[in-house]
């Protein structure tokens, strides 16, 4: 039995439209000019059938005059002489001029809207990336990367393309409908009534399918974001997928989401495509009726044959903008669904503003204190409870404990990735809440378990935390971190390009590079989070020696599962279920024979 399609219901399309229109304010004048040009181009083209009808009427009248003058037996030469070729030529020149003028105006307005669309896309992408910089870490912990990426790529492109293509079509269609209606009324109000009967009938049916299509278009955009996230995860984790023989499951997971995207996409297109045949059926019925009635009126002498010809052309043109409007509706639905997702993202709660004025700590000594800190990611699940500790300048503080004890949470609070629910943290006596986040974070260097290097040269990566560092500064850091020889052995030395995933260097080399990067930045305090968990024993010794040099004279916080690496720490904080259950030096804690001793002995039980 096929899985039922889950359709995301539209929420605030009117709000999305309002936001989109507001975001276009910088380009109001170019858009108005484009609208005027589009309307002008349409008006010029509307007069075409009227002039063609005049040309037909002129030729018919001249033929009729020739038949009367010759008693119904005109020769071809007499018929040719009877036609007012000068008048026909003037009308033909006027007709060509109108069509050329319409084409030029259409081209200009198309260029204007294309430029506006490009500027709009650039603006929206800038707003998205600026928003990302303002979002709290909590947002990224709770949302998928692919969905956020989809806002900047798929959603922005969808809205921008709609702006470039649909806006001019809307103006052209509306102008053409109004203009053609006026022209038809000037020819024959009775025939116009027949043509107009089909409009409300088709509009009723089109509105019914359009509402259905809106639901599927929104679901299409949402599912596309999920699919992007799966693709990103599968691409980045190929080694893990292959190592665990997870290929078939990963493909099945992708296929499920891909099939769901297929389902909602074809349904969205199916319902939006119904607009054309529905409109076409009603307009074709009207077209047939007009041909019959118009022919009867021409035979009865109520209308000239050229007027009937012009009216039929107008009816044909009248049907086209109505059909286009129904087709445009599906594009607008898709665009509004994308715009809604963009503005929902842009309205996400940002980090609370920094204090103004903010306190400064010019010369950092490195005294850190936690005062009765309580924190929870979710109100019903407290992580840190009544956490207090005083850390003197230059101390190396190790934080140990089982998974989930709150070790990394302590670092998140220290860096102000999160703020405590109650209590406060101070640096040299100044509460971090009273400092700018950037100032707090600049006072720490971080070396993490997950080594992150960006695509670029090795030297560019090493200068990441201090762009003004000299090459000598870089050399001093790499020599101290035991990575200089490895870099020099590469084909291009410090200018060697690291791939996007930095998979052309080993895990240990990556770690040593991140240590060197921290040394180049030369921060007053350091954070080392599980930094030796993924390396071999020899590399661990090199890293430990580099750590010793890196933390000398600096207050440092070390999180480690390998308790052998933190035996020389000045203070060890033993955490369990969010609380500090023990603290002291390695020897003191072993002598207590408590929880730390249990953790330590469990690691060396088999040694």
The predicted pLDDT at position 424 comes to: 92
Return the CA Rg of the chain. 37
Residue 5 forms part of a structural domain: no
* Closest C-alpha among 93, 116, 113 to residue 105: 113
Picking from 522, 555, 582, the residue at the C-terminal end of a domain is 522
Residue 593 forms part of a structural domain: yes
Q: Are 46 and 165 within one domain?
A: yes
CA distance 66 to 60: 10
Locus of tokens 């100044």: 430
CATH of the domain at 513: 3.40.50.300
* Closest C-alpha among 324, 236, 333, 226 to residue 283: 324
The predicted pLDDT at position 371 comes to: 92
**Residue ranges of the alpha helices (H) in 390-470?**
407-414, 437-442, 458-462
The side-by-side arrangement of strands in the sheet containing 525-529 is: 444-448, 525-529, 555-559, 396-400, 571-576, 579-584
Q: Are 282 and 395 within one domain?
A: no
Tokens linked to 525 = 């305090």
* Closest C-alpha among 606, 585, 581, 605 to residue 595: 581
Cβ atoms < 10 Å from Cβ of 337: 27
Q: Are 113 and 214 within one domain?
A: yes
Are 116 and 34 spatial neighbours (Cβ–Cβ below 8 Å)? yes
Q: Are 40 and 78 within one domain?
A: yes
Which residues are CB-contacts of 240 (< 8 A; sequence separation ≥ 6)?
Answer: 246
Residue 438 forms part of a structural domain: yes
Q: Are 517 and 533 within one domain?
A: no
Element (H, E) at 371: strand 368-378
Residue 355 forms part of a structural domain: no
Sign of CA pseudo-dihedral 491, 496, 502, 505: positive
Are 506 and 514 spatial neighbours (Cβ–Cβ below 8 Å)? no
The phi-psi region of residue 386 (left if phi > 0; otherwise alpha if psi is between -120 and 50; otherwise beta) is left
Picking from 465, 499, 522, the residue at the C-terminal end of a domain is 522
Locus of tokens 């484009």: 34
The predicted pLDDT at position 61 comes to: 73
> At 376, phi and psi to the nearest 5?
-150, 140
- Is the peptide bond prior to 533 cis by the omega test (within 30 degrees of 0)? no
Picking from 287, 315, 346, the residue at the C-terminal end of a domain is 346
Are 264 and 7 spatial neighbours (Cβ–Cβ below 8 Å)? yes
> At 167, phi and psi to the nearest 5?
-60, -50
CATH of the domain at 320: 1.20.1560.10
CA distance 447 to 456: 19
Q: Please give the DSSP secondary-structure letter assigned to residue 388.
A: E
CA distance 512 to 145: 28
For 406, 420, 477, 527, the CA distances from 473, given in Å and listed in that order, are 36, 37, 6, 21
Q: Are 473 and 576 within one domain?
A: no
The predicted pLDDT at position 104 comes to: 93
Domain count, the chain: 3
* Closest C-alpha among 430, 433, 463, 446 to residue 363: 430
The predicted pLDDT at position 9 comes to: 37
The predicted pLDDT at position 606 comes to: 47
Residue 574 belongs to what domain range? 363-443+525-607
Element (H, E) at 558: strand 555-559
The predicted pLDDT at position 98 comes to: 87
Residue 557 forms part of a structural domain: yes
Residue 358 forms part of a structural domain: no
Q: Are 219 and 298 within one domain?
A: yes
For 88, 444, 459, 469, 485, the CA distances from 475, given in Å and listed in that order, are 87, 21, 10, 10, 10
The phi-psi region of residue 317 (left if phi > 0; otherwise alpha if psi is between -120 and 50; otherwise beta) is alpha
The C-alpha angle 165, 35, 279, rounded to 5 degrees, equals: 55
The predicted pLDDT at position 533 comes to: 56
Residue 463 forms part of a structural domain: yes
Are 109 and 116 spatial neighbours (Cβ–Cβ below 8 Å)? no
Are 461 and 454 spatial neighbours (Cβ–Cβ below 8 Å)? yes
Q: Are 264 and 375 within one domain?
A: no
Q: Are 335 and 419 within one domain?
A: no
CA distance 295 to 285: 16
Alpha carbon dihedral 91, 95, 97, 98, in 10-degree steps, equals 130
Tokens linked to 512 = 């040593």
Q: Please give the DSSP secondary-structure letter assigned to residue 323.
A: H
The predicted pLDDT at position 423 comes to: 92
Residue 585 forms part of a structural domain: yes
Element (H, E) at 576: strand 571-576
Q: Please give the DSSP secondary-structure letter assigned to residue 525.
A: E
Are 526 and 559 spatial neighbours (Cβ–Cβ below 8 Å)? no
Q: Are 186 and 243 within one domain?
A: yes
Q: Are 517 and 534 within one domain?
A: no
Are 513 and 490 spatial neighbours (Cβ–Cβ below 8 Å)? no
For 236, 244, 420, the CA distances from 233, given in Å and listed in that order, are 5, 15, 32
Locus of tokens 């040694």: 607
* Residue ranges in the chain modelled with pLDDT below 50: 1-10, 606-607
Q: Are 191 and 277 within one domain?
A: yes
* Closest C-alpha among 208, 30, 226 to residue 117: 30
The C-alpha angle 510, 511, 514, rounded to 5 degrees, equals: 90
């Amino acid at each position: 039995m096929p899985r039922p399609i889950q359709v995301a219901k539209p929420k605030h399309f009117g709000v999305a439209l309002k936001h989109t229109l507001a975001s276009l304010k910088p380009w109001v004048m170019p858009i108005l000019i484009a609208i005027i040009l589009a309307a002008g181009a349409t008006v010029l083209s509307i007069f075409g059938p009227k002039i063609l009808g005049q040309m037909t009427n002129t030729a018919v009248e001249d033929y009729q005059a020739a038949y009367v003058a010759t008693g119904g037996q005109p020769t071809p030469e007499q018929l040719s002489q009877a036609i007012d070729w000068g008048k026909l030529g003037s009308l033909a020149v006027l007709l060509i001029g109108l069509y050329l003028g319409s084409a030029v105006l259409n081209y200009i307005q198309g260029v204007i809207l294309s430029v506006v669309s490009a500027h709009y896309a650039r603006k929206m992408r800038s707003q998205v990336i600026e928003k990302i910089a303002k979002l709290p870490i909590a947002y990224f912990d709770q949302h998928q990367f692919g969905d956020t990426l989809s806002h900047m790529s798929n959603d922005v492109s969808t809205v921008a393309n709609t702006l470039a293509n649909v806006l001019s079509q809307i103006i052209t269609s509306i102008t053409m409908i109004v203009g053609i209606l006026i022209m038809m009324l000037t020819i024959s109000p009775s025939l116009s009534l027949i043509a107009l009967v089909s409009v409300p009938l088709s509009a009723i049916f089109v509105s019914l399918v359009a509402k259905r299509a809106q639901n599927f278009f929104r679901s299409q955009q949402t599912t596309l974001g999920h699919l992007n996230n799966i693709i990103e995860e599968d691409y980045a984790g190929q080694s893990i997928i292959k190592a665990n023989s997870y290929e078939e499951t990963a493909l099945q997971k992708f296929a499920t989401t891909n099939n769901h995207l297929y389902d909602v996409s074809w349904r969205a297109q199916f319902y939006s495509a119904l607009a054309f045949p529905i409109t076409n059926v009603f307009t074709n019925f009207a077209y047939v009726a007009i041909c019959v009635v118009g022919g009867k009126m021409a035979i009865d002498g109520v209308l000239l044959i050229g007027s009937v010809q012009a009216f039929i052309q107008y009816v044909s043109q009248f049907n086209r903008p109505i059909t286009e409007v129904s087709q445009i509706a599906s594009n607008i639905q898709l665009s509004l669904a994308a715009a809604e997702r963009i503005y929902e993202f842009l309205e996400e709660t940002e980090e609370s503003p920094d204090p103004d004025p903010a306190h400064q700590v010019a010369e950092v000594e490195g005294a850190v204190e936690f005062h009765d800190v309580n924190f929870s990611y979710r109100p019903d699940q407290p992580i840190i409870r009544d956490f207090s500790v005083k850390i003197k300048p230059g101390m190396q503080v190790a934080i140990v404990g089982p998974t989930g004890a709150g070790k990394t949470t302590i670092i998140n609070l220290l860096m102000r990735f999160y703020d405590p629910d109650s209590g406060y943290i101070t640096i040299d006596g100044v509460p971090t809440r009273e400092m700018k986040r950037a100032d707090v974070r600049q006072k720490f260097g971080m070396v993490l378990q997950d080594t992150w290097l960006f695509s670029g040269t090795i030297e560019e990566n090493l200068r990441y935390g201090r762009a003004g560092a000299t090459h000598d500064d870089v050399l001093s850091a790499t020599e101290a971190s035991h990575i200089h020889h490895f870099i020099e052995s590469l084909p291009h030395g410090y200018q060697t390009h690291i791939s996007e995933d930095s998979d052309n260097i080993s895990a240990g080399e990556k770690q040593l590079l991140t240590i060197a990067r921290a040394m180049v930045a030369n921060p007053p305090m350091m954070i080392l989070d599980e930094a030796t968990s993924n390396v071999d024993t020899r590399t661990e010794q090199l890293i430990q020696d580099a750590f010793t040099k890196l933390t000398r004279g600096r207050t440092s916080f070390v999180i480690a599962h390998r308790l052998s690496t933190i035996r020389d720490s000045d203070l060890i904080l033993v955490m369990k279920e969010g609380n500090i259950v023990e603290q002291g030096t390695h020897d003191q804690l072993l002598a207590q024979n408590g929880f730390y001793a249990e953790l330590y002995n469990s690691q060396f039980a088999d040694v």
